């Protein structure tokens, strides 16, 4: 599942162009060619050369050079420092209060709640010596009315689901500890409390300003007579970090590339400004970067295209989570659709696909077919998206595959910029990066691209990208067990 890349060996062919950064991000000169060029996707190859040139020129904003990515990286580092110091920044850099990674001694029976996508999961997990020995899970659908209605309705629904679950397990009278994976940006006050900062992805519930989400869940559970205590409130990236660290002790970064995107890492506690709890004995702490909001203050406007502006305008949460809209599975299909529509409006494509007609799973399919050298499935999906009347042929399928490749390449590069910056910052002999999420799992070449780009952006550091399954479930139980261990070791 994991691919080790020794970037110092220059496996991907490193070199330095005159434009390459001099700030330590770039690799040394190497006979394998120009550093900057290694970020470029292949050209569009269709019979009509003139048309190909015009399309490339119209979409040139989606292509980022190594020099531009270096600039993004510099801005990311600056915003990261500012966020940690609680200065104005588009990066939240939230203290999660999780001070340790699993050490193989985690024990106990835990409930875990996973809220972030349209499916809500309740899990019962049992850990013995750090290993999962039991996992019961039930999925509940969260309909649009709940996702967009009053927050209180949503939390009452969550508590109803927990009640249904513990009843079905015959455990509704038992006293249980719960880990709440709440995959949205939070202002955390402790390991078990925090307020929502803003909704993202498909949620936009009202009345949640300043509300402690763990406290609200706790109230709703108690109102149902359940003896369940919310022990930890965590983000899915933290859960992924925990799940990854349980498999490989070198893991220090957790990443989600799914509907949304984000990362967390272990930071020195002394570099974190925001503490609302005693931390004299805390050496390291997990920080939730919340890179989905990177650029919301305009600091990344130099990579924003008119296509991105259109995606943003059509989104549920306009003018927010700018960076997530370049990477997240909720948006990649729409970036593709808007790109084809932009070509269609200037006569370079014979149709303007309507909103919602192309999804990220289509983009993955086009990429898959591109990798295998075919075009017929792409054409079939494209025809459905554009309508039967659209006059489409193999050339349109190849153009669509090319655009999907540009968008995938950019997403991989931007995620890699953040990961590489964290790897350089942690500066370990080997850094494991645990990654979860539908885009990472289903896109045919995202992990290959990321291995390549991280190596180019952190050339002097060894790293391992590894898929980590179910951080939101297993990671939640591990975090609850760690919280119990830390509390037992530090009685107040
Ligand atoms: C949220 C993050 C979360 C990410 C992945 C983003 O929209 O803000 O908290 O980690 O999605 O689920």
Structural domain includes residue 167: yes
- Cα distances (Å, whole numbers) of residue 34 to 31, 39, 220, 282, 463: 8, 10, 59, 44, 23
Give the other-Cβ count within 10 Å of 323's Cβ: 26
For atom 8 of ligand 1, which residue has the closest CA?
184
Give the span between the Cα atoms of 273 and 87, in whole angstroms.
10
- Domains identified in the chain, total number: 2
116 lines ligand 1 (CB under 6 A): yes
Q: Are residues 302 and 412 in the same domain?
A: yes
For atom 9 of ligand 1, which residue has the closest CA?
184
Q: Are residues 324 and 241 in the same domain?
A: no
**Mutation to probe ligand 1, out of 261, 322, 470 (largest number of atoms < 8 A from CB):** 261
H helices, E strands: number in the chain? 15, 14
Q: Are residues 228 and 365 in the same domain?
A: no
Q: What is the pLDDT of residue 492?
A: 60
323 lines ligand 1 (CB under 6 A): no
Q: Are residues 84 and 124 in the same domain?
A: no
Asked if 472 is an active-site residue, the reply is no
Structural domain includes residue 30: yes
Choosing from 36, 236, 308, 436, which is the catalytic residue?
236
Structural domain includes residue 238: yes
CATH number for the domain spanning 222: value is 3.30.420.40
Q: Is pLDDT of 112 > 80?
A: yes
- Cα distances (Å, whole numbers) of residue 83 to 41, 58, 234, 274, 287: 33, 36, 19, 10, 11
Give the span between the Cα atoms of 291 and 288, in whole angstroms.
9
Choosing from 90, 177, 183, 476, which is the catalytic residue?
183
Rounded distance from Cα 171 to ligand 1 centre (Å): 31
**Quick one: tokens of 55?**
């399309």
185 lines ligand 1 (CB under 6 A): yes
Q: Which of 42-46, 246-250, 280-284, 359-363 has the lowest mean pLDDT?
A: 280-284
Q: Are residues 458 and 477 in the same domain?
A: no
Q: Are residues 306 and 445 in the same domain?
A: yes
Rounded distance from Cα 403 to ligand 1 centre (Å): 26
CATH number for the domain spanning 438: value is 3.40.367.20
Structural domain includes residue 434: yes
Q: Which residue range(s) make up the domain with 181? A: 99-247+469-485
Give the span between the Cα atoms of 101 and 246, in whole angstroms.
8
Q: Are residues 103 and 157 in the same domain?
A: yes
Rounded distance from Cα 232 to ligand 1 centre (Å): 17
Residues linked to residue 263 through DSSP beta bridges, in sequence order: 255
Structural domain includes residue 439: yes
Asked if 183 is an active-site residue, the reply is yes
Structural domain includes residue 55: yes
Q: Are residues 452 and 475 in the same domain?
A: no
Q: What is the pLDDT of residue 7?
A: 37
Give the other-Cβ count within 10 Å of 154's Cβ: 25
Q: What DSSP character marks residue 293?
A: G
Q: What is the pLDDT of residue 469?
A: 85
- Ligand 1 atom nearest the C-alpha of 198 is 8
Predicted confidence (pLDDT) per residue in 341-386, tens digit: 999 999 999 999 999 999 999 999 999 999 999 999 999 999 999 9
201 lines ligand 1 (CB under 6 A): yes
Structural domain includes residue 239: yes
**Quick one: tokens of 289?**
């970067």
Predicted confidence (pLDDT) per residue in 306-342, tens digit: 999 999 999 999 999 999 999 999 999 999 999 999 9
Q: Is pLDDT of 280 > 50?
A: yes
Q: Are residues 432 and 304 in the same domain?
A: yes
- Ligand 1 atom nearest the C-alpha of 293 is 8
Q: Are residues 24 and 112 in the same domain?
A: no
**Quick one: tokens of 343?**
């070509």
**Quick one: tokens of 358?**
């192309």
The number of C-alpha atoms within 13 Å of 140 and in the hemisphere containing its C-beta is 21
Structural domain includes residue 463: yes
Q: Are residues 187 and 324 in the same domain?
A: no
Q: Are residues 461 and 376 in the same domain?
A: yes
């Amino acid at each position: 599942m994991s691919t080790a890349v020794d970037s110092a060996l220059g496996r991907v062919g490193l070199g330095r162009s005159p434009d390459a950064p001099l700030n330590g991000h770039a690799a040394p000169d190497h006979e394998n060619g120009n550093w900057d060029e290694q970020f470029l996707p292949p050209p569009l190859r269709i019979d009509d050369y003139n048309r190909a040139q015009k399309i490339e020129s119209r979409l040139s904003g989606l292509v980022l050079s190594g020099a531009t990515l270096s600039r993004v990286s510099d801005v990311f580092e600056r915003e990261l420092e500012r966020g940690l110091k609680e200065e104005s920044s588009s990066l939240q850099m939230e203290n999660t209060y999780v001070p340790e990674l699993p050490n193989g001694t985690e024990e106990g029976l835990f409930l875990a709640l996973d809220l972030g996508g349209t499916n809500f999961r309740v899990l019962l997990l049992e850990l013995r010596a750090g290993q999962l020995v039991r996992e019961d899970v039930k999925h509940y659908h969260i309909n649009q009315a709940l996702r967009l209605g009053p927050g209180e309705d949503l939390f009452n629904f969550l508590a109803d689901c927990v009640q249904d679950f513990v009843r079905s397990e015959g455990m509704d009278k038992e006293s249980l500890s719960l880990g709440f994976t709440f995959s949205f940006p939070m202002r955390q006050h402790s390991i078990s409390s925090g307020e929502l900062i803003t909704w993202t992805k498909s949620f936009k519930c009202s009345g949640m300003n300043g509300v402690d989400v763990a406290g609200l869940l706790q109230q709703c559970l108690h109102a149902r007579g359940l003896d369940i205590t919310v022990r930890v409130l965590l983000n899915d990236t933290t859960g992924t970090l925990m799940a990854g660290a349980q498999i490989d002790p070198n893991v220090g970064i957790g990443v989600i590339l799914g509907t949304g995107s984000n990362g967390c890492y272990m930071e020195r506690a002394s570099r974190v400004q925001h503490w609302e709890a005693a931390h004299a004995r805390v050496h390291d702490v997990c920080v939730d970067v919340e890179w989905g909001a990177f650029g919301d203050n305009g600091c990344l406007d130099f990579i924003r295209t008119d296509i991105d502006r259109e995606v943003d305008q059509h989104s549920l949460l306009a003018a927010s989570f700018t960076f997530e809209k370049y990477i997240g599975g909720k948006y990649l299909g729409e970036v593709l659709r808007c790109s084809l529509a932009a070509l269609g409006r200037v006569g370079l494509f014979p149709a303007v696909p309507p909103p919602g007609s192309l999804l990220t799973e289509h983009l993955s399919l086009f990429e898959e077919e591109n990798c295998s050298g075919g075009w017929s499935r792409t054409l079939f999906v494209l025809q459905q998206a554009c309508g039967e009347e659209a006059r489409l042929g193999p050339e349109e399928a190849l153009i669509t595959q090319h655009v999907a490749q540009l968008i995938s390449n950019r997403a991989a590069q931007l995620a890699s910029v953040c990961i590489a910056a964290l790897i350089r910052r942690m500066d370990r002999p080997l850094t494991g990066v645990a990654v979860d999420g539908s885009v990472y799992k289903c896109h045919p070449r995202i992990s290959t691209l990321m291995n390549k780009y991280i190596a180019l952006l952190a050339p002097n550091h060894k790293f391992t990208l590894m898929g980590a399954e179910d951080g939101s479930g297993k990671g939640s139980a591990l975090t609850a067990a760690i919280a119990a261990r830390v509390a037992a070791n530090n009685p107040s």
